[in-house]
Amino acid sequence: MNPANRRDILKYGAAAAASTLSLPGLNLAHAQAGPLKIGLITPLSGPQEFIGSYVKNGAEIAVDQINKAGGILGRQVALEIRDDKANPAAALAAARELLGTGINLHTGGISSAVVLALIPVMQQENGVFMTCGAGTEKMNHENYSTNLFRPGDAPDARGRAQARLMAEKYPQITRWTGLIPDHEYGRTMWSIFVDGLLEFYPALTGKKPEILDPILLPYGVSDYRNSITQALRQQADGVYNATYGGDAITMFQQARGFGLMQRYKVVCDAANEFLVARGMKQQLPPHWTGMHYYAEANKGNAMSDRFVADYLAKTKDPEPLGWAAEAHASIYALAKAIEKGKSTDTKSVIANLKGLTWDTVTGPRTLRAEDNQAIKDVELVYIEPAATDKGYRVAQYQKVEGKSVLLPASPGKKLVLRKA
């Protein structure tokens, strides 16, 4: 056992702790081993910085809540935060540094390339990593690792839920294309969305969709005009966008000058939540987007209501986005697994994360033991410009049961998808 991990194993007495996270039999007087450190690796600079800021805020709120309730096994929790710049090399350097200091538990990782790069080092150095939004399906399939967990919605559940929604609401729109960043996440989401179109349109409408070649966009650039011009030559009725973060805002703003989005009868965005809406306000095109978490859809959930209140107090933002909620959920999952096993040892935490059911701001979730993927409902919203202080409004939202769109576990095997 790693000496740093051995120091984390605490003894239990007969007294029960007052904390909502505490286990019967915990004697807080014996839990004096210093703060329990968790690594947080997320982009805090570059074009994805503001997504990383949501991850950071969500994790910090979870830690504050847990500490106020007595900590984990009677120990206060402290985050060790590092900037990965959404870059695999920077993420690897940060992870090796944290692992080298004995910090074996980590969260963050919103970039698919980052998360895939972290798998080998987590395995080699006996670490655990919880992603707060990476969209690659490989982490639960051909690149499956016991050391990597996704406590949020899977890309196959998200993309297929969106495709099913399109078939249900727009049965007459059968000619689809994509605006797809030419990297791991973009290609993943397009392939999954196409799989869903090919299943749900025939099943629900009796029509076979026509899938046009997607427009592949460069990543992290400031000029999308060539790609937009290429898209203007197509004759598609529906478009699926998988650009995200700062890239998405730039692309949508430039596309507006060409009237591109107005050419489509429906725009479906993979995962930008309110980022594009906040950037464009009344100039944004009406569109559906995927949400890790939509507060309005979770009103009445005590954990969600408290999260919204704490987020407002911390940031002055009344509308936390889903990456914050996923970071919050990841910290609570780690807390419950540690409490359950009475240890922060990597082997114990992994064993107790597998099959774990825990409370989150979107309701109970379960980490599937076979592949470390959470079973979680998919939340989708339709946003349109509006003469409000925000410049937009949610016209409708929908939850899709996660079990109904999540594909079966196949750890170690490539995810099999329908192809056009």
pLDDT average, residue stretch 153-161: 96
Handedness of CA 296, 297, 301, 303 (dihedral sign): negative
pLDDT average, residue stretch 402-418: 96
Q: Report the pLDDT value the prediction gives residue 7, as an integer from 0 to 100.
A: 41
pLDDT average, residue stretch 115-137: 96
CA dihedral 99→102→104→105, nearest 10 degrees, is -100
pTM of the model: 0.89
Q: Report the pLDDT value the prediction gives residue 219, as an integer from 0 to 100.
A: 85
32 has a pLDDT exceeding 60: no
As a whole number of Å, the end-to-end CA separation of the chain is: 50
6 has a pLDDT exceeding 70: no
Q: Report the pLDDT value the prediction gives residue 246, as an integer from 0 to 100.
A: 87
Q: How many CB atoms lie within 10 A of CB 373?
A: 29
Q: Could you give all domains of the chain from N- to C-terminal order, each with its CATH number?
A: 3-153+297-375 (3.40.50.2300), 156-291+377-405 (3.40.50.2300)
Burial pattern 305-327, b for ≥16 Cβ within 10 A else e, equals: eebbebbeeebeeebbbbbbbbb
pLDDT digits (tens, 9 = 90+) for 277-333: 999 999 999 999 999 999 999 999 999 999 999 999 999 999 999 999 999 999 999
pLDDT average, residue stretch 358-387: 98
The pLDDT confidence band at residue 24, using thresholds 50, 70 and 90, is: very low
Q: Which helix (H) or strand (E) holds 266?
A: strand 266-269
pLDDT average, residue stretch 140-155: 97
147 has a pLDDT exceeding 90: yes
Contact call for residues 180 and 214 (beta carbons, < 8 A) = yes
